[in-house]
Amino acid sequence: MLGYILRRIGMMIPTLIVVSMLSFIIIQLPPGDYLTSYAATLRATGDAVDEAELESLRQRYGLGQPIYVQYYKWMSGILLRGDWGQSMEWRKPVKELIWEKMALTVFLSLVAISVSWFIAIPVGVFSATHQYSIPDYIFSAISFIGAGTPGFMIALVVMLVAMRQLGLNVGGLFSEEYILAPWSWAKFVDMLKHLWIPVIVIAFESTAGSIRTTRANVLDELNKPYVETARAKGVKERKLVWKYPVRVAMNPFFSTVGWTLANLIGGQTLVAVVLGLQTNGPMMLRALRSQDMYLAGSFLFLVSVLTVIGTLISDVLLAWVDPRIRMEG
Amino acid sequence: MMTIPEPQDNDLRNSPVMAEAEACPPPIDEMEPLEVLGVEPVLAQEEERLYVAGQWQLMWWKFRKHKMAIMGGIILIVFYVIGAFCEFVAPYDPEAYFIRYKMAPPTPVRIFDTMGKLHTPFIYHRDRSKDPETLRDIYAENPETRYPLRFFVKGEPYKLWGLFATETHLFGLAPDVEDQAVFLLGADRMGRDLFSRLCYGARLSLSIGLVGVFLSLALGIVLGGISGYYGGRVDTIIQRVIEFIRTIPTIPLWMALSAALPADWPVIKMYFGITIILSLVGWTGMARVVRGRFLSLRQDDFVLAARLCGSSEMRIILRHMVPSFLSHIIASLTLSIPGQILGETGLSYLGLGLRAPAISWGVLLQEAQNVRSLILAPWLLFGPAVCVVLTVFAYNFLGDGLRDAADPYAR
């Protein structure tokens, strides 16, 4: 098992290197750079441009030099000094800006995924054991809707309804007074109060998918002979379902937990923009718009790293629950 | 050089779909009552029909049973027809604004008047007044005057597809009715007819999905085909590239790429830019499907037979292998179109995709971004949102149906 994990981690490293290059190249695609356009704006408004400062920044990030030099400077900064570069728009080191956002993003995704499983597994098992009953049809219909409707549209509708019917302003994760405040217990409680709408919206899509997976898997298991045998031997129905078929049906969940998490982190970007959450989405969008390339690049890279790690977690978990896989590799 | 004529009949018969059709007569429970009644000629005919039916015929029979897929197909046909003939279907020019109808709610179209008498569809005269407190416009119906809704009515002149000049619209008010307008789905904040804009939006939004998917398909078939057919090192390299691309989460990747498109590009250029970005991710999925199919078909007897008969590699791929998994490809194509449509919608919504002079459903959603104005005019959100969601559902159901129909082993 340890060997398997080490091998998988070893395979991860080249992937990470290539992905970091890709994110850097993508971020470099827009013509021009932030410093040039920034200097131009300053000049246009008649402000003094500190050429020395611009020049030192240029030196530091190797602007104007070939792309691989810039990439090398960026990467070596991250790896050796933990320096993710400077956000030019915010005039702050990138690392001061991203960690809180990334932490909130991961936290939100974790909560959403827990909520979604908490709902999806019982509902899916119920649907499977009561196949073709009225509740089964209702749940299936809901999960079809959830799987087909894009999250950001659900977010828009939820916001509209909350505002029209309940008179609530549901944007954001915090009340106004806490947005800039340092973390405290009060801020955390305030966040929990705002959390439910984003969680519902984000969880809705993945819940829908999970219900369908659970239902299909449990149905498959329920028709197997061992279930029949157990029933013939007089095992209570509740125990029979939950102890054996459900446990087997959980395998896909293990195998996809990392993927789901990674998908949620990338996929909630749009929802976050719509709902104005203080997660990575809106900040990345803004950074992309203003060509704040280190900030945008760091986000893109981090989200990709999370995906890679997510895949790793999935593989390890799957190998852990399913001995066939770890033996084979 | 002439190649030896190929045993085409033979390889069709060997393809999984045909083999299944022959090996599997209709289910026993359908056959038996017929035999008991002694109606054997009918049975023979039925069987005969099944035996001689081609691959596509069999699929169609199976597809027909999938009611939701048929529904989805019909919805899509309607939407695409509207998109194709949007100038004709839309009663107004999408940019024409009616100053007196800013944020006007949908016009109720009636067939019964206040006395309960049945008419052809008509609308009542609408008067605008201001709410003294909120200063919002109120549109009150005045049942004194009725304006019948005319079909194939003369309206603003336009050129269909930029070719045929005409001024006939599908419906509208009579040309002599001034200062009144029919807004099936309401008007936006500049007094433009949302229904007309949705029709025009359908053209861009729906076609972007198709074009994007065909680009993905082209890339996917070529690269996936090479990967699956040759295997070995080429396969490894292509698979690695696919893995890397898939490692970067789709939406942030799309955002980063479309942010790189210059904002001052004309609509057409932007449109193709977005399409290419969408298919840059899309082809990876397609390539995997194609590769998987190639790997399994490569070993099949009919490929070997064709090779022994001296067909060239390209001919084997295009003439023999591609047709035998084309149905699967079509099904997975259908299932990947909604993703691309949603991609465009999402990007345009963020302001990174198509922009204002262009009209797509995403652009319309973006115009509906302000929640405060949505409270006054919720139809601005619901119009485009319903269109997008309906399209996505229709494609999903259609794709499900096609996939089931294309799989000869599915029950």
The pLDDT tens digits for A183-237 are 777 777 777 777 878 888 888 878 888 888 888 888 888 888 888 888 889 888 8
Interface membership of B393 toward A (CB under 8 Å): yes
CB contact under 8 A, A269 and B389: no
A290: alpha, beta or left? (left if phi > 0; alpha if psi -120 to 50): alpha
CA distance A189 to chain B (A): 26
CA–CA separation, A85 and A82 (whole Å): 9
CA–CA separation, B362 and B388 (whole Å): 9
The distance from CA A271 to its chain's CA centroid, rounded to whole angstroms, is 11
Q: Which pLDDT band, with edges at 50, 70 and 90, does A44 fall under?
A: low
Pairwise pLDDT comparison (A41 vs A226), residue with the higher score: A226
CA–CA separation, A316 and A258 (whole Å): 10
CB contact under 8 A, A308 and B338: no
CA distance B199 to chain A (A): 20
Separation in Å, CA A288 to CA A22, A27, A29, A133, A299: 16, 8, 11, 50, 10
- Minimal Cβ distance to B247: which of A31, A288, A308: A308
CB contact under 8 A, A156 and B251: no
Q: Which of A266, A271, A246, A250 is nearest to A308 (CA)?
A: A266
Chain A CB contacts of B379 under 8 Å are none
Chain A CB contacts of B376 under 8 Å are none
Q: What is the pLDDT of residue B3?
A: 43
The pLDDT tens digits for B294-349 are 777 777 888 888 888 888 877 887 788 877 777 778 777 888 888 888 888 888 88
CA–CA separation, B250 and B274 (whole Å): 14
Q: For B135-184, give the secondary structure using H, E and C.
A: CCEEEEEEEEEEEEEEEEEEEEEEEECCCEEEEEEEEEECCCCCCCCCCC
Q: What is the pLDDT of residue B78?
A: 92
- Helix, strand, coil percentages (3-state) for chain B, rounded to 5, are 60, 15, 25
CA–CA separation, A256 and A120 (whole Å): 14
Separation in Å, CA B365 to CA A10, B52, B348, B349, B369: 45, 51, 8, 6, 6
> ipTM beyond 0.85?
no
* Residue matched to tokens 């299932």: B335
Interface membership of B138 toward A (CB under 8 Å): no
CB contact under 8 A, B371 and A18: no
Is the pLDDT at A247 greater than 50? The verdict is: yes
CB contact under 8 A, A285 and B255: yes
Interface membership of B263 toward A (CB under 8 Å): no
Residue A235 burial (CB < 10 Å; 0-12/13-18/19+)? middle
Find the distance separating the first CA and the last CA of chain A, reported in whole Å: 10
Task: Report yes or no on whether pTM surpasses 0.90.
Answer: no
Interface membership of A149 toward B (CB under 8 Å): yes
* Residue matched to tokens 């299936």: A140
Interface membership of A263 toward B (CB under 8 Å): yes
- Minimal Cβ distance to B251: which of A159, A270, A308: A270
Q: Which of A256, A144, A150, A254 is nearest to A209 (CA)?
A: A144
- Minimal Cβ distance to A159: which of B257, B371, B389: B371
- Minimal Cβ distance to A150: which of B256, B259, B346: B346
Chain B CB contacts of A27 under 8 Å are 256
The conformation of residue B318, written as its DSSP 8-state character, comes to: I
Chain A CB contacts of B375 under 8 Å are 160, 163-164
CA distance A264 to chain B (A): 10
Residue B4, CA atoms < 13 Å, CB-side half-sphere: 9
Q: Does residue A194 contact residue A100 with C-beta atoms inside 8 Å?
A: no
The pLDDT tens digits for A72-122 are 877 887 788 777 777 777 777 777 788 888 888 888 888 888 888 888 888
Q: 3-state class of A92 per DSSP?
A: strand
Q: What is the pLDDT of residue A324?
A: 61
The pLDDT tens digits for A279-314 are 888 888 888 877 777 788 888 888 888 888 888 887
H or E segment to which residue A43 belongs:
helix A34-44
> Which of A270, A292, A294, A314 is the mutation pick for testing B, counting most B CBs within 10 A?
A270
CA–CA separation, B330 and B343 (whole Å): 20
Interface membership of A202 toward B (CB under 8 Å): no
Interface membership of B265 toward A (CB under 8 Å): no
CB contact under 8 A, A150 and B392: yes
Q: 3-state class of B205 per DSSP?
A: helix
Q: Which two tokens stand for residue A42?
A: 């300053």
> Which of A26, A140, A144, A154 is the mutation pick for testing B, counting most B CBs within 10 A?
A26
Chain B CB contacts of A144 under 8 Å are 393
CA–CA separation, A293 and B68 (whole Å): 47
Q: 3-state class of B193 per DSSP?
A: strand
Chain B CB contacts of A24 under 8 Å are none
Q: For A143-188, give the secondary structure using H, E and C.
A: HHHHHHCCHHHHHHHHHHHHHHHCCCCCCCCCCHHHCCCCCCHHHH
**What is the signed CA dihedral for B257, B258, B259, B260, rounded to 10 degrees?**
60
CA distance B285 to chain A (A): 16
CA distance B405 to chain A (A): 20
Cβ–Cβ pairs < 8 A, chains A and B: 111
> Which of A143, A153, A165, A291 is the mutation pick for testing B, counting most B CBs within 10 A?
A153
CA distance B113 to chain A (A): 32
CA–CA separation, B349 and A270 (whole Å): 9
Strands A86-87 and B164-173: unpaired
b (16+ CB within 10 A) / e for A255-290: bbbbebbbbbbbbbbbbbbbbbbbbbbbbbbebbbb
**Segments of chain B scoring below 70 in pLDDT:** 1-44, 46, 50, 53, 135, 371-372, 407-411
Pairwise pLDDT comparison (B119 vs A12), residue with the higher score: A12
> Which of B75, B240, B247 is the mutation pick for testing A, counting most A CBs within 10 A?
B247
CB contact under 8 A, B352 and A23: no
Q: What are phi and psi of B268, to 5 degrees?
A: -60, -40
Helices (H), B299-321: 301-308, 313-315
